[in-house]
């Protein structure tokens, strides 16, 4: 009897499944997609309703040969189970595998290229889906085999064809207009660059305005002998908000407040419950790991992928905050056992998914087990840290609310300075924790003061006035966390696209990170963005990209065909392409002069951008081809030899820091020397908890 064949994407996932299944199963990995559009040509027949032509890549021919041999040994066809990931990409991988194996077993396929996914003796291929790699989940999924969901496959095909059309048509246009044949444009990446460029222009156009905050340090002096000082902020002058715009205005107010009489107007005490944040979804996991560990979205997804394939967490590409009954029961039981019954709410906490079209059949990201053995089988330091963060976020989401007692004190200051009497209102707020609840897992330092015990009408002494000059601040630059949040909120991309999008726009050198790890558009990125916005403004924008995501969701739900969605896009896009190709307009990329002269022709030397980063070149190019490396030093010395630290790039364009004395000194680091980026979870939680959770 032949073994049942189970096909998954990766060897790690195959090894994990093999731990749960017996010797009657042969588990093999497809190593991702085994068929795709061709690498060096469009592969989409526009005239034939955008029909895609798929081919087996050279790298996958051995994989396909192995799978074909496995499913048709000696002419005997075993049962084949496709167990790829539970999303559109996984469904498409299963479809391509089934198509290739179906063609091999049954001979020539039909014109529609849809394999006969049945359970007949002639070709017993089925599909199973699970959201965690555990024995119970696998056994349950085996009880419910199904056919391939062609709606999900079509949604993936629609996205793939759309991105191929944009990439293969826009990218060569950029090559022609810039002379740089390594640039690219895309439906999501170009919009991400546009968001960063527009934010940078807001910052550059921002004009800071001066304003002053006035506070008073006061001390109670009631008859009961309860004393204590506190600080209250000026919130009203008469019936109006204070608008103190310069020192002169502040000095006038301070002069009156120096001689004013201070008295407690009201003391309000209330209890507030603070609900825990929901369990992680892909975007919040990426944002939190960026804030806590300084990780890129790409690294977070790589570590999460390993955790999933090892059976330690549920599927990590999800936009649903739904938790299964099994997960809820596991979490509530653990909380009760470890922290006590008062930390378990009467009913499980339920969260509303914010994504427009989240797949509620999916779960949020959570650990598959909470026993100590889960932590003992370590995959490495990074994996342990991310698993710990996911576990605590999951448990916290199902714990009782934090309860705080909040006190708000309003103070009147009456100035009898002639010729008028003026009334000022100050306000102070403080709180104390009554019950920590979910904060047991995410403790924070006390950020608001505990006020002294006061009652209405208590007289107060003024200890000192505290004027503070401030200036309005421009909007903050995007970092990885805030960019992912912006993309998610505006409906751009999906959980699987955030990490590759952010990686691509850096690889193409459209944006770079400053020392604070915030994105700044390069001159190249700004120039390309302006060109695309000018010529393809209706396509390279937030509303179009979000609308396209909605339409891809409609395809997945069977409401519309993917060909009709592509056709609606292609018509206007092709017209603008034709029009733009015929113009002589070039994309002018600013070139910064270095102040040096070319040693070969005497022309000014300028900074230019190439595939692997910036370099120095002659402004007389192409007549003069002189170039030399651009050495960017930072104000840090090498910890090994004391030499200058310079910014370098790998062959793939990734930035790193190295010693200028190479090869005599081989010091190199991904992070700026002296900057501790990979902080531990506990350290960050105790100092900046709101950033961690939110």
Would you name the residues annotated as active-site residues?
315
Residue 83 and residue 169: Cα distance in Å, rounded? 35
**371 C-beta neighbours (distance < 10 Å), count:** 10
- Tell whether the torsion through CA atoms of 316, 319, 325 and 330 is positive or negative: positive
DSSP per-residue letters across 46-97: GGGTTEE--EE-GGGHHHHHHHHHHHSGGG----EEE---SSHHHHHHHHHH
- Which residues contact residue 511 at a Cβ distance below 8 angstroms, ignoring those fewer than 6 apart? 193, 196, 505, 519, 520, 521, 522, 525
Q: Is the dihedral angle over the CA atoms 282, 286, 289, 295 positive or is it negative?
A: positive
Is residue 564 within 8 Å of 225, Cβ to Cβ?
no
Please say whether the beta carbons of 201 and 475 come within 8 A: no
Distance CA 260, CA 243 (A): 19
The Cα–Cα gap between 475 and 483 comes to 13
The DSSP annotation for 420-486 comes to --EEEEEEEEEEEEEE-GGGGTS-----SPPPPP--TT-EEEEEEEEEEEEE--PPPPP-HHHHHHH
Report phi then psi at 53, rounded to 5. Answer: -110, 115
**Rounded-to-10 torsion of CA 592, 594, 599, 601:** 30
Distance CA 162, CA 173 (A): 17
Closest CA to 656 of 496, 459, 464, 506: 506
- b/e code 196-235 from CB counts within 10 Å (16+ = b): bbebbeeeeeeeeeebbebbbebebebeeeeeeebebbbe
Answer whether 411's CB lies under 8 Å from 461's CB.
no
Residue with tokens 């997609």: 33
- Please count the CA atoms within 13 angstroms of the CA of 593 that sit on its side-chain side: 8
Burial of 509 (0-12, 13-18, 19+ CB in 10 A): buried
Find out whether 3 and 25 touch, Cβ atoms under 8 Å: yes
CA distances from 559 to 362, 385, 552, 564 (A): 21, 42, 10, 11
């Amino acid at each position: 009897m032949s073994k049942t064949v189970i096909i998954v994407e990766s060897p790690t996932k195959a090894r994990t499944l093999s731990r749960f299944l017996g010797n009657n199963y042969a588990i093999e990995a497809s190593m991702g997609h085994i068929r795709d559009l061709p690498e060096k040509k469009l592969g989409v027949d526009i005239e034939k309703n955008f029909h895609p032509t798929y081919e087996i890549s050279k790298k996958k021919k051995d994989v396909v040969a192995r799978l074909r041999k496995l499913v048709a040994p000696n002419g005997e066809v075993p049962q084949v189970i496709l167990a790829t990931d539970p999303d559109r990409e996984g469904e498409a991988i299963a479809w391509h595998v089934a198509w290739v194996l179906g063609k091999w077993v049954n001979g020539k396929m039909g014109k529609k290229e849809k394999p006969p996914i049945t359970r007949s003796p002639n070709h017993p291929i089925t599909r199973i889906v699970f959201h965690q790699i555990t024995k119970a989940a696998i056994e349950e999924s085996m009880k419910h085999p199904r056919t391939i969901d062609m709606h999900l496959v079509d949604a993936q095909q629609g996205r793939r064809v759309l991105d191929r059309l944009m990439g293969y048509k826009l990218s060569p246009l950029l090559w022609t207009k810039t002379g740089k044949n390594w640039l690219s444009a895309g439906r999501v990446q170009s919009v991400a660059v546009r968001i960063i460029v527009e934010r940078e222009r807001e910052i550059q156009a921002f004009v800071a305005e001066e304003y002053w905050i006035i506070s008073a340090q006061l001390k109670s002096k009631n008859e009961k002998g309860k004393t204590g000082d506190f600080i209250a902020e000026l919130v009203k002058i008469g019936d109006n908000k204070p608008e103190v715009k310069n020192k002169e205005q502040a000095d006038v107010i301070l002069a009156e407040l120096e001689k004013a009489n201070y008295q407690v107007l009201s003391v309000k005490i209330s209890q507030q419950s603070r609900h825990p944040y929901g369990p992680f979804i892909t975007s919040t996991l990426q944002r939190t790991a960026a804030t806590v560990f300084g990780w890129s979205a790409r690294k977070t997804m790589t570590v999460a992928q390993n955790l999933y394939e090892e059976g330690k967490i549920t599927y990590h590409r999800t936009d649903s905050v739904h938790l299964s009954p099994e997960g809820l029961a596991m979490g509530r039981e653990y909380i009760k056992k470890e922290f006590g019954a008062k930390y378990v709410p009467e009913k499980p906490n339920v969260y509303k998914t914010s994504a427009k079209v989240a797949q509620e059949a999916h779960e949020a990201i959570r650990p598959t087990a909470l026993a100590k053995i889960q932590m003992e089988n370590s995959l490495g330091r990074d994996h342990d840290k991310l698993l710990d963060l996911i576990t605590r976020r999951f448990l916290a989401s199902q714990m009782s609310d934090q309860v705080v007692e909040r006190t708000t004190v309003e103070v009147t200051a009456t100035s009898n300075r002639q010729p008028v009497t003026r009334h000022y209102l100050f306000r102070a707020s403080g709180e104390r924790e009554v019950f920590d609840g979910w904060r047991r897992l995410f403790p924070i330092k006390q950020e608001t003061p505990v006020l002294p015990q006061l009652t209405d009408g208590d007289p107060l002494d003024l200890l000192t006035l505290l004027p503070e000059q401030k200036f309005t601040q421009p909007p903050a630059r995007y970092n990885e966390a805030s960019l992912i949040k912006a993309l998610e909120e505006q409906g751009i991309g999906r959980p699987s696209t955030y990490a590759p999008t952010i990686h691509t726009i850096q690889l193409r050198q459209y944006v770079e990170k400053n020392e604070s790890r915030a994105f700044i558009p390069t001159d190249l990125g700004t120039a390309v963005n302006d060109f695309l916005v000018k010529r393809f403004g209706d396509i390279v924008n937030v509303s179009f990209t979000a609308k396209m995501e909605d339409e891809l969701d409609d395809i997945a739900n069977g409401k519309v065909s993917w060909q009709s969605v592509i056709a609606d896009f292609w018509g206007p896009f092709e017209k603008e392409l034709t029009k733009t190709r015929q113009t002589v307009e070039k994309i002018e990329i600013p070139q910064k002069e270095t102040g040096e002269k070319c040693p070969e022709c005497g022309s000014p030397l300028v900074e230019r951008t190439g595939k692997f980063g910036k370099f120095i070149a002659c402004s007389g190019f192409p007549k003069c081809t002189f170039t030399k490396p651009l050495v960017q030093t930072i104000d840090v010395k090498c910890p090994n030899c004391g030499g200058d630290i310079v910014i370098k790039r790998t062959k793939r364009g990734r930035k790193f820091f190295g010693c200028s004395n190479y090869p005599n000194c081989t010091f190199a680091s991904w992070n700026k020397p002296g900057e501790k980026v990979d902080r531990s979870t506990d350290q960050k939680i105790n100092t900046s908890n709101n950033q961690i959770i939110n």
